[in-house]
Structure 1
Amino acid sequence: MSNHPFFEIHKDIPREGPGNNESTRKAFRLLNGLPAHPNILDVGCGPGMQTKELATLTEGTITALDRHEPFLRELEKWTAEHGLTQQIKTVQGDMFDMPFPQESMDLIWSEGAIYIIGFERGLREWRKLLAPNGYLVVSELTWLTQERPDEIEAFWMENYPAIKQAEANEGIIEEAGYHLLHHFTLPEAGWWEYYRPLQERVALLRERYDGQVEMQQALDETQREIDLYKKYGAYYGYAFYIMQRQNDK
């Protein structure tokens, strides 16, 4: 798996999707009523940029779950260097079948990863892991306007056809048994915190894999995604959805 073009392109970059520490802090501070030492699950943690930030915001324990072992080893190295091995634990696992007891988490966090299982399915399946009145915070690709240019509409219909506007996601949230507390859109700076190192990585790999068709095609696709955001970033973004489990479902 680690030799797949995706993982080679995404190796050695600080984030695996758009985000920034400022937005992680903002979302966390919109939570009221967390226990003093909450059990937190970070689903699809990647190399753990947001995991590290959460560790500065809470005295709780954080379980960081991802399928890709090199990301977890990277995070483990950092936690050891910073004396946080008691606070942050890593689990190699699959978000489709997470190995945790029901109602064991006070907070489930997932930045830029719930799309893998699907927004609606993720909300429904992860809810059973939340303690009564527990919280779920996710960031999800979201249309920001009702009308979009054909080029960007076609791109996301091919790459993530489940993308919706915030109003539609709010309905899904309520139907899945949560109360939406807040939502906000990731600022443009959060996209470039992801795309700038990714673009540098693309340029590096262009030379390293010169003549290798599969990798060059993957690099082309990655660069196209970046170029489309430059052109059409006003039409879509990542929205943070901060929600609380309702206990009447």
Structure 2
Amino acid sequence: MSSHPFFEIHKELPREGPGNDESTKKAFGMLSRLPAHPQILDVGCGPGMQTKALASLIDGTITAVDRHEPFLRELEKWVADHGAEGKIRTVCADMFALPFAEESFDLIWSEGAIYIIGFERGMREWGKLLRPGGYLVASEVTWLTGERPAEIEAFWQKNYPAIAGVEENKQIVQRAGYRLVGSFTLPESGWWEYYGPLEKRVAKLRDEYAGQVDMQQALDETQQEIDLYRKYGTYYGYTFFIMQRPES
């Protein structure tokens, strides 16, 4: 088994978080002033589903970063199989200490991963890597309603206390010094592109790891997360924020 139940549960999934190609392309379509051959940094890329979607949209280079090497190996295999070596390169690195020069990217992309470092901290620290006028696109889990049931409130306060509403996050964007180009919420179908395969894997691993307490507990927690979205998905979602660093 992998060193941590999380990575065994998430092994070989097509996505490591909610998303879909349509939303990736919609967010990209809101970028009006990218250079012809942009340099893009995909932070927390996982196995790279959104990286592949971006590669189909640009004539530039994507640097895909994750700290979990097996995810990068999966993406590298796809790159080799599709002759995309000139478009995508992988770097194993921690998003808390990205090993790149300041102002070296035209676009920083992060789907479902910026919460690890924190929405505002990620914007501030990663923004140093953007050229003036460059863009940052990130999807962040947000409350979609002003009030919600106690059960789902308690779940998110335990798992991500920094969760905020859309308007509050827009204020954070401004406070961090960006211009908000636009925002939109990921459709429910994007959650099931992630949760569908994940739920099947949970069921499969139940039998494989029968009697292993740590794994069964991790499977319970994963299934609970899926069930809570099924029950309360109208109260929260992933919101894409499309931001631009000022020209000067």
Instruction: Indicate the TM-score class for this superposition, using the shorter chain for normalisation.
Output: over 0.9
Which amino acid in the other structure matches residue 6 of structure 1?
F
Which amino acid in the other structure matches residue 46 of structure 1?
G
Once the two structures are superposed, the pairs formed by residues 47-58 of structure 1 within 5 Å of their partners are 47-58=47-58
Aligned length: 248
Match of 1:31 in 2: 31
CA distance in 2, matches of 1:220, 1:229: 14
- Aligned partners of 1:177 and 1:247 also within 8 Å: no
CA drift of 1:12 comes to: 1.0
CA distance in 2, matches of 1:9, 1:212: 13
Mapped pair 1:142 → 2:142: yes
Structure 1 pair 100/240, CA: closer, same or farther in 2 (3 Å)?
same
Secondary structure of 2:90's counterpart equals strand
Unaligned runs of 5+ in 1: none
Unaligned runs of 5+ in 2: none
Match of 1:213 in 2: 213
> Which 4+ stretches in 1 moved above 6 angstroms?
none
Match of 1:67 in 2: 67
- The C-alpha deviation readout for 1:15-34, integer Å capped at 9, x for no partner, is 00000000000000010010
Percent identity of paired positions between Structure 1 and Structure 2 = 72
- Aligned partners of 1:185 and 1:238 also within 8 Å: yes
CA distance in 2, matches of 1:245, 1:2: 40
Secondary structure of 1:170's counterpart equals helix
Once the two structures are superposed, the pairs formed by residues 144-163 of structure 1 within 5 Å of their partners are 144-163=144-163
CA drift of 1:243 comes to: 0.5
Which amino acid in the other structure matches residue 235 of structure 1?
Y
Match of 1:225 in 2: 225
Mapped pair 1:126 → 2:133: no
CA distance in 2, matches of 1:30, 1:79: 26
Once the two structures are superposed, the pairs formed by residues 90-239 of structure 1 within 5 Å of their partners are 90-239=90-239
- The C-alpha deviation readout for 1:15-54, integer Å capped at 9, x for no partner, is 0000000000000001001000000000000000000000
CA drift of 1:2 comes to: 4.0
Match of 2:5 in 1: 5
CA distance in 1, matches of 2:15, 2:138: 15
Which amino acid in the other structure matches residue 132 of structure 2?
P
Which amino acid in the other structure matches residue 179 of structure 2?
H
CA distance in 2, matches of 1:126, 1:19: 22
Which amino acid in the other structure matches residue 130 of structure 1?
L
CA distance in 2, matches of 1:127, 1:214: 39
Which amino acid in the other structure matches residue 223 of structure 1?
Q
RMSD over aligned CA atoms reads 0.9
- The C-alpha deviation readout for 1:153-198, integer Å capped at 9, x for no partner, is 0000000000000111011101111000100000000000000000
CA drift of 1:13 comes to: 0.7
